[in-house]
Amino acid sequence: MRFRRAPAAPDPEDVARLGAVLLKLDPWAFWTVELDRGSGASFAVLGVTGAFAVTSCGLDGYLVADGRRLLVDGREVRGFREVRRAAKVLRGKLLGIGASTSDVVPLIVLMRAVAGAPRDRAGVRVVRPEDVVPTITARERVLDPSTAELLARRIGHVLPGAATRPVRDGETP
């Protein structure tokens, strides 16, 4: 019987760098939510282009495709199953709180590896840090900003953006 090797826990420095990359998104259109450690993803992003489950990969080296596997200097990129599961859990939470969108895109961000263009493998988009913002913002608009913000705040702790929206009369901060 062969046991599946689980991915290593993400490096806290890589998670912090990933959070900084996600905060480059437009703060009036996208909200980044911290997820629990064991959830399979470090962050959820909710915005006008939908929902995303995002995790980091800290392997260092050059990314190559070897058949169905992605390798960084001979070590396999892991975490596909976990980030897909996190996306599925996030989808369930969103539907449970009344979201009209059910599509959650799982992303693995190669924080240290040298890679070419973004690629899809096993239903997960694998990108470099500089490709995160264009990958998220290039999708079709499916939510209005106020709905995306409300959903993000109901999911968990929203990271403060580069700018904060002013509180309107009658709104709670």
- Average per-residue pLDDT in the chain? 88
For 166, phi then psi, to 5°, come to -70, 145
| pTM of structure | 0.87
d(Cα 27, Cα 18) in Å, to the nearest integer?
16
The reported pLDDT for the residue numbered 121 is 93
Burial class (CB in 10 A: 0-12, 13-18, 19+), 154: middle
In the chain, % of residues over pLDDT 90 = 75
Q: Which of 7-16, 99-108, 110-119, 163-172 has the lowest mean pLDDT?
A: 163-172
Domain boundaries, the chain: 12-155
